[in-house]
């Protein structure tokens, strides 16, 4: 057998006996502009072994993943007098160097091994889970995990959402002012998945003493969550029955959360946060009906009329306009706001999260914001925004 087929067989054997570490191809003489080298490693993608090729260009890298058989065929094609003229195979036993010499003959030589095999081949990024251990007892009680701490298949999305929620807020939570006790309210807590996670993260991960209260209208969910909290000895976690509008905090707040509160309930929650000087207000709005009804009734003639005549565009426009005004009003009251994606839009279009951090009030900026609100309402034919109304603006 000639040198090149022998070398290709050795590559295949090193993969089969798991001694393969990596490969590099160099001395490129081909026609692809700016291509310099190719680096190859073995990776596991969804538990399947593949060969990952990194094509190194002068100003960029491009990565492609191949099935093993297809990857070997790609290597054979690349090793050519009009392609790559040198290839080094790194294994646990030795380095194999296959090179085309000046006489256009492939040579093969061995050297002592110089590479170290990685501990694992997983290509899928292992995210740090902010909630941490899935074996926590409250997760079992909430029916997210089984008795061994394994996340149920039908709860995978919820588990990812919980961790993503804490991850999004981790910077702001870490930056909260130093206090002996943080006061937190979660409005519209539902079954309490995110409420429990927030309590756990603050008290057990950040070691910040926090008193957390979940507000939920459905009595059965309030009773369930309180029973789990008591059973798990989460003594500073409590759930109360009621609406967001009727809830009256007993003191100023440090954190106010309201995720997927319907329509103007989001505004009621924001207003509670502003009223009670919350350092951090986090809302994920839902069902933007109040402004949309006005847009549909007035049908203002402006530069966007060509777009808003279509129902689906009008709905999305109403969402952005509603939340844009919410952000402006928060800024009026001295909050620094940012808007981000909370849940992937593959799962729901209601995926916007507004995060507001208490800063300082600027009188000049307040006047500017009032002018902006006035001109915006006039442009779109809006009589009022509910949050603007309850805030007395």
Which of residues 368 and 381 earns the better pLDDT score?
Answer: 368
Straight-line distance from the first to the last Cα atom of the chain, in angstroms, rounded to the nearest whole number: 86
β-partners of residue 241 are 216
Cα separation, 69 vs 2, in Å, equals 21
Are 44 and 119 spatial neighbours (Cβ–Cβ below 8 Å)? no
- Average pLDDT in the 123-144 region? 68
Cα separation, 332 vs 290, in Å, equals 21
Instruction: Flag whether pLDDT at 123 surpasses 80.
Output: no
Cα separation, 153 vs 197, in Å, equals 19
Which of residues 221 and 138 earns the better pLDDT score?
Answer: 221
Instruction: Flag whether pLDDT at 216 surpasses 80.
Output: yes
Instruction: Flag whether pLDDT at 330 surpasses 90.
Output: yes
Instruction: Flag whether pLDDT at 346 surpasses 60.
Output: no
pTM: 0.64
Cα separation, 136 vs 148, in Å, equals 10
Pairing of strands 255-262, 182-187: parallel
CA 209 to chain centre: 26
pLDDT above 70 as % of the chain: 94
The predicted structure's pLDDT at residue 307? 74
Instruction: Flag whether pLDDT at 349 surpasses 80.
Output: no
Residue 350: which pLDDT band, with cuts at 50, 70 and 90?
low
Average pLDDT, the chain: 87
The predicted structure's pLDDT at residue 153? 86
Residue 144: which pLDDT band, with cuts at 50, 70 and 90?
confident
Q: What is the DSSP letter of 311?
A: H
Instruction: Flag whether pLDDT at 218 surpasses 90.
Output: yes
In the chain, count of helices (H) and strands (E)?
Answer: 12, 14
Residue 345: which pLDDT band, with cuts at 50, 70 and 90?
very low
Within 82-209, strands assigned E span 84-91, 95-100, 106-111, 182-187
- Average pLDDT in the 20-33 region? 94
The two structure tokens encoding residue 181: 């006790």
Are 147 and 154 spatial neighbours (Cβ–Cβ below 8 Å)? no
- Average pLDDT in the 279-289 region? 89
**How big is the chain, counted in residues?**
393
Are 352 and 318 spatial neighbours (Cβ–Cβ below 8 Å)? no
For 140, 161, 258, the CA distances from 157, given in Å and listed in that order, are 16, 6, 20
Instruction: Flag whether pLDDT at 206 surpasses 60.
Output: yes
Instruction: Flag whether pLDDT at 121 surpasses 80.
Output: no
The predicted structure's pLDDT at residue 369? 93
Among 241, 245, 250, 247, CA closest to 211? 250
- Average pLDDT in the 208-217 region? 93
The CB density around residue 173, as the number of other CB atoms within 10 Å, is 23
Residue that the structure tokens 């909370």 belong to: 342
The two structure tokens encoding residue 333: 């009251």
Q: What is the pLDDT of residues 252-276, one digit of tens each?
A: 999 999 988 888 889 999 999 999 9
Are 110 and 96 spatial neighbours (Cβ–Cβ below 8 Å)? yes
For 291, 329, 376, the CA distances from 383, given in Å and listed in that order, are 9, 16, 10
The predicted structure's pLDDT at residue 315? 83
Instruction: Flag whether pLDDT at 131 surpasses 70.
Output: no
The predicted structure's pLDDT at residue 290? 85
Question: Which residues make Cβ contacts (< 8 Å) with residue 110, sequence separation at least 6?
Answer: 94, 95, 96, 97
Q: Give phi and psi for 298, each to the nearest 5.
A: -80, -40
Among 105, 86, 109, 84, CA closest to 96? 109
Among 292, 282, 390, CA closest to 339? 282
Are 224 and 237 spatial neighbours (Cβ–Cβ below 8 Å)? no
pLDDT above 90 as % of the chain: 53
For 110, 299, 322, the CA distances from 325, given in Å and listed in that order, are 69, 19, 5
Instruction: Flag whether pLDDT at 329 surpasses 50.
Output: yes
Among 384, 373, 379, 388, CA closest to 308? 379
Region label for 198, one of left (φ > 0), alpha (ψ between -120 and 50) or beta (otherwise):
alpha
The CB density around residue 5, as the number of other CB atoms within 10 Å, is 11
- Average pLDDT in the 75-104 region? 94
Span of 96-100, 196-200, 293-297, 374-378 with lowest mean pLDDT: 293-297
């Amino acid at each position: 057998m000639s040198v090149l087929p022998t070398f290709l067989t050795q590559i295949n054997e090193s993969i089969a006996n798991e001694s393969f570490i990596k490969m590099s191809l160099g001395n490129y003489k081909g026609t692809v502009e700016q291509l310099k080298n190719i680096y190859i490693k073995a990776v596991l993608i969804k538990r399947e072994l593949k060969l990952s090729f990194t094509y190194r260009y002068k100003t960029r890298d491009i990565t492609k993943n191949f099935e093993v058989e297809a990857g070997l065929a790609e290597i054979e094609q690349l090793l050519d007098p009009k392609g790559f003229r040198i290839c080094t195979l790194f294994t646990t036993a030795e380095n194999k160097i296959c090179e085309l010499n000046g006489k256009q003959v492939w040579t093969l030589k061995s050297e002592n091994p110089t590479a170290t095999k990685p501990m694992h081949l997983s290509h899928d990024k292992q995210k740090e889970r902010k909630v941490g251990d899935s074996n926590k007892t409250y997760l079992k009680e909430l029916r997210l995990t089984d008795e061994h701490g394994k996340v149920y298949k039908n709860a995978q999305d919820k588990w990812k959402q919980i961790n993503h929620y804490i991850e999004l807020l981790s910077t702001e939570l870490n930056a909260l002012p130093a206090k002996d006790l943080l006061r937190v309210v979660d409005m519209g807590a539902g079954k309490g998945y995110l409420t429990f996670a927030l309590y756990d993260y603050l008290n057990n991960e950040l070691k910040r003493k926090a008193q957390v209260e979940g507000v939920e209208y459905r009595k059965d969910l309030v009773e369930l969550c309180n029973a789990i909290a008591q059973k798990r000895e989460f003594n500073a976690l409590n759930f109360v029955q009621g609406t967001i509008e009727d809830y009256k905090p007993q003191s100023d707040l440090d954190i106010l959360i309201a995720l997927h509160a319907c329509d103007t309930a989001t505004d009621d929650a924001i207003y509670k946060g502003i009223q009670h000087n919350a350092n951090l207000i986090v809302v994920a709005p839902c069902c933007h009906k109040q402004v949309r009804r006005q847009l549909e009734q007035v049908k203002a003639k402006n530069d966007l009329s060509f777009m808003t005549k279509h129902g689906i565009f009008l709905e999305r426009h109403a969402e952005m306009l509603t939340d844009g005004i919410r952000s402006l009003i928060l800024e009026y009251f001295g909050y620094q706001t940012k808007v981000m994606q909370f849940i992937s839009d593959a799962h729901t279009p209601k995926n916007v999260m507004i995060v507001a951090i208490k800063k300082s009030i600027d009188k000049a900026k307040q006047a500017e914001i009032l002018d902006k609100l006035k001109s915006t309402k006039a442009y779109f034919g809006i009589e009022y925004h509910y949050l603007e109304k309850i805030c007395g603006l």
